[in-house]
């Protein structure tokens, strides 16, 4: 690096705040479910900003957006960054959005500095990272990596009864290009940590070496709908009581096994969900995470035994279906080194770490050299309206990203 | 009774089957939430049948329907029967509907027999017994008995975002008369038992002497929304795990206290209810029933302690609000005797019993001499699409009802 290149901390912050107005919630957070009207508005705003910054914007068949800042050598694959713009139902202004806005800030800062790179630089928005309106989560990057096919993404039903293809068409983001047909030199995703470690260790940059594995299972507990007032306690087959026993036992398993385990039931649907009826059905998602695959296997089998044991003792039937399996991912050593170097060049206190959350980067890593940059977030809080980060930390992450991409893309 | 009067078993059955087509579900049940399009269709069908049978039809400010078969003496208050036409979300074809159709069958049978009563006979449809689309359940009979006022019923929000008044207007059942302004001589509600006792005891008629008390509390457990992948197990404040522990403990309390206790959590709402987010909120309804008030008091205080204890140990906040309190009801001795006599005259095996379920009759009993007639239902199953009863038992209940009302209304 010949000279110091800065990013514009205030501009980056303002972009995050402006994007945070789209689907804004009362307590400072955002709700932009994938392919909703709010998601369309967020995408449109991003596309406008990118065009204003001189980028060529394209999208593919699953609505992933690629904003390219051309390089000198048109034959070179792009050095890419980005993340997602969709949010949790009570999401914050930073999870995902920061990675996209940091990429945009890299483009704008390269413009300000009058730097032409050799390879193009691209900012990517992946579709439906959060999986709130439809399954699977991480849909756009999964399609890019060939983990799911376009047809199955298109056919998925949203919770509003539409298909994903209909929604893509309706919001104007149904492109023609096959996801994955676009060559990338590398992908570096910036993100808030979503955990407490950087803050506790007083570091500014997390050099992410690995993402823990994630498995989702859908557990359905089936009993018998019956009347709450007339059915004696000892004649009930109450699916919610069975599900509650399982949830308590899963939490105990998660606490007792080893400190790296994350075991969560975040979503439950009870039927018929009426005050005076003993529920005949309760279905919930078990989110299991751990950095190593043998432990995931072991815990998954323990979960199966536990579910069967509790249900069997209560006269309930159960069904367990694994609906997502993201193995632990180790990032590209070369690219992780580049992130570490960039943080050092910029003079930011950094540390190696693993990611507890899944990210689009874990899919992209299957097909392209990939790494991630974490910055601290307040109290480690995420998937919460109160999610927060400092302008200085966010700018530091964007600058480390700029240095990483510049080292890879080359400049004259 | 000078001569044997029959009811038409086949006609009664056919009316139940025809009404069961309105809002029919795939497994033989019905979904007619109060004031929905389906409820309107069911009401319209009933009104047409009543007019065809020569009744004068009126409705009041909360949409209760009164179908009157005039008597000889226009100054006499009506001898009334009826129940409700709305259903649970996965309800059956008999709960409530039977009481209305049995009343209609009494009218039709009196017509067939050419009997003129001295007092009028009325068939009443009470609005929103089930409380599925809006609170409170038993709304129509509560307003009739002055337990709730018309304004609060009108202002209630349905789960579809409308007000009850808007819905009443929209479906054409917003009457002008004050509920409760209509004088009644008595009210006798026929109903399927919704429990296993008559079937087990091989009886045809249950002479209901009492309804157990019902209390509903809404329990809200509040934790902190956070990320399922990054938040260590020991730093979580998981509202769903807290709610699950409470639900398990409530079920244990219900099983251990005494065999008359009914303790149920039928409805739960989790926020944000997303697979990758530790839930920050879980709210559920506790349905507590027992025949005697001191036990209800004791259990309610045990429930409060239990909720506080579990939540406190998990760093969760809780709120408990009592949203319904129906004290145990003892029916009119005179009218209960009349039901017992009617069953004996008809030659049906009968037994005294209490009602485990709440019914509109428990409200009406506050202001009018009231009783209930139960008939057996298959496997004691109710609030379930598989709810069933035999044509012969249903006809027996209608005939016992006819004899009861006739004894009270008088004939020449």
Model pLDDT, residue A381: 87
Is there a contact between A383 and B226 if contact means CB atoms under 8 Å apart?
yes
Residue written as tokens 């804004």?
A24
Q: How confident is the model at residue A326 (pLDDT cuts 50, 70, 90)?
A: confident
ipTM confidence: 0.78
| A412 has pLDDT over 80 | no
Distance from C-alpha of A314 to C-alpha of A320, rounded to nearest angstrom:
17
Spell out which residues of chain A touch residue B357, defining contact as CB-CB under 8 Å: 227, 229-230, 276
Is there a contact between A275 and B131 if contact means CB atoms under 8 Å apart?
yes
A241: closest chain B residue by CA: B248
Spell out which residues of chain A touch residue B355, defining contact as CB-CB under 8 Å: 229-230
Domains of chain A: residue spans and CATH:
9-212+328-409 (3.40.630.10), 213-326 (3.30.70.360)
Residue A93 CB partners (closer than 8 Å, separation 6+): A16, A17, A19, A20, A28, A29, A30, A387
| Range in A273-277, A293-297, B202-206, B238-242 the model is least confident about | A273-277
Tens-digit pLDDT profile for residues B260-297: 999 999 999 999 999 989 999 999 999 999 999 999 99
Smallest Cα distance from A383 to chain B, Å: 5
Tell me the average pLDDT of chain A.
Answer: 96
Is there a contact between B229 and A194 if contact means CB atoms under 8 Å apart?
yes
| A349 has pLDDT over 80 | yes
Tell me the average pLDDT of chain B.
Answer: 96
Quote the pTM value. Answer: 0.77
A260: closest chain B residue by CA: B232
The conformation of residue B117, written as its DSSP 8-state character, comes to: B
Smallest Cα distance from A189 to chain B, Å: 17
Is there a contact between A273 and B279 if contact means CB atoms under 8 Å apart?
no
Tens-digit pLDDT profile for residues A195-227: 889 999 999 999 999 999 999 999 999 999 988
Tens-digit pLDDT profile for residues B64-97: 999 999 999 989 999 999 999 999 999 999 999 9
Smallest Cα distance from B331 to chain A, Å: 18
Question: Which residues share a beta bridge with A56?
Answer: A68
| B2 has pLDDT over 60 | no
Spell out which residues of chain B touch residue A264, defining contact as CB-CB under 8 Å: 228, 238, 276, 278
The conformation of residue A115, written as its DSSP 8-state character, comes to: P
Half-sphere exposure of A371 (CA within 13 A, CB side): 28
Nearest residue to B187 via CA among B409, B350, B357: B409
Distance from C-alpha of B313 to C-alpha of B75, rounded to nearest angstrom:
65
| A247 has pLDDT over 90 | yes
Is there a contact between B285 and A275 if contact means CB atoms under 8 Å apart?
yes
Model pLDDT, residue A244: 98
Is there a contact between B90 and A225 if contact means CB atoms under 8 Å apart?
yes
The vertex-A245 CA angle with A240 and A248, nearest 5°, equals 120
Model pLDDT, residue A39: 98
Spell out which residues of chain B touch residue A212, defining contact as CB-CB under 8 Å: 229
Model pLDDT, residue B412: 72
Model pLDDT, residue A118: 97
- Say if residues A238 and A226 touch (Cβ distance below 8 Å): no
| Minimum-distance CB partner of A230 among B254, B278, B357 | B357
Half-sphere exposure of A25 (CA within 13 A, CB side): 19
Q: How confident is the model at residue A1 (pLDDT cuts 50, 70, 90)?
A: very low
Model pLDDT, residue B253: 98
Inter-chain CB pairs, A–B, below 8 Å: 249
Model pLDDT, residue B381: 87
Half-sphere exposure of A287 (CA within 13 A, CB side): 24
> Average pLDDT in the A142-168 region?
96
Tens-digit pLDDT profile for residues B250-270: 999 999 999 999 999 999 999
Model pLDDT, residue B230: 87
Is there a contact between A131 and B278 if contact means CB atoms under 8 Å apart?
no
């Amino acid at each position: 690096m010949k000279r110091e290149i800065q990013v514009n901390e205030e501009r980056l912050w303002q972009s995050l705040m402006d994007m945070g107005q789209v689907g804004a919630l009362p307590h400072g957070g955002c709700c932009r479910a994938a392919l909703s009207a709010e998601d369309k508005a967020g995408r449109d705003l991003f596309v406008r900003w990118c065009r204003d910054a001189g980028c060529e914007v394209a999208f593919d068949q699953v609505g992933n957006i690629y904003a390219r800042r051309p390089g000198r050598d048109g034959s070179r694959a792009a050095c890419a960054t980005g993340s997602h713009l969709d949010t949790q139902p009570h999401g914050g202004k930073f999870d995902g959005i920061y990675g996209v806005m940091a990429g945009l800030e890299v483009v704008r800062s390269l413009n300000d500095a009058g730097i032409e790179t050799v390879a193009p630089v691209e900012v990517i928005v992946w579709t439906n990272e959060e999986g709130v309106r439809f399954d699977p989560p991480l849909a756009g990057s999964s399609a890019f990596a060939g983990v799911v096919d376009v047809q199955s993404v298109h056919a998925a039903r949203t919770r509003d009864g539409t298909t994903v293809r209909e929604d893509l068409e309706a919001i104007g983001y149904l492109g023609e290009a096959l996801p994955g047909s676009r060559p990338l030199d590398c992908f570096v995703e910036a993100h808030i940590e979503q955990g407490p470690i950087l803050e506790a260790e007083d570091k500014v940059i997390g050099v992410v070496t690995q993402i823990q594995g994630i498995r989702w299972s859908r557990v359905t507990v089936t009993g018998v709908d019956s009347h709450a007032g007339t059915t004696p306690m000892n004649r009930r087959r109450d699916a919610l009581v069975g599900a509650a026993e399982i949830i308590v036992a899963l939490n105990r398993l998660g606490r007792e096994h080893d400190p790296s385990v994350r075991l969560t039931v975040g979503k439950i649907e009870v039927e018929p969900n009426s005050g005076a009826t003993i529920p005949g059905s309760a279905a919930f998602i078990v989110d299991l995470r751990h950095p190593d695959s043998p432990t995931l296997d072991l815990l998954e089998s323990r979960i199966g035994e536990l579910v069967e044991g509790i249900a069997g003792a209560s006269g309930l039937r159960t069904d367990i279906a694994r609906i997502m399996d993201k193995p632990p991912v180790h990032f590209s050593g070369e690219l992780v080194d580049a992130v570490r170097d960039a943080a050092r060049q910029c003079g930011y206190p950094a540390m190696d770490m693993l990611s507890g959350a899944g990210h689009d980067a874990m899919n992209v890593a299957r097909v392209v050299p990939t790494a991630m940059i974490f910055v601290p977030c307040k109290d480690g809080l995420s998937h919460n309206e109160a999610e927060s980060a400092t302008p200085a930390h966010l700018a530091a992450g964007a600058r480390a990203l700029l240095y990483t991409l510049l080292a890879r893309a080359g400049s004259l």
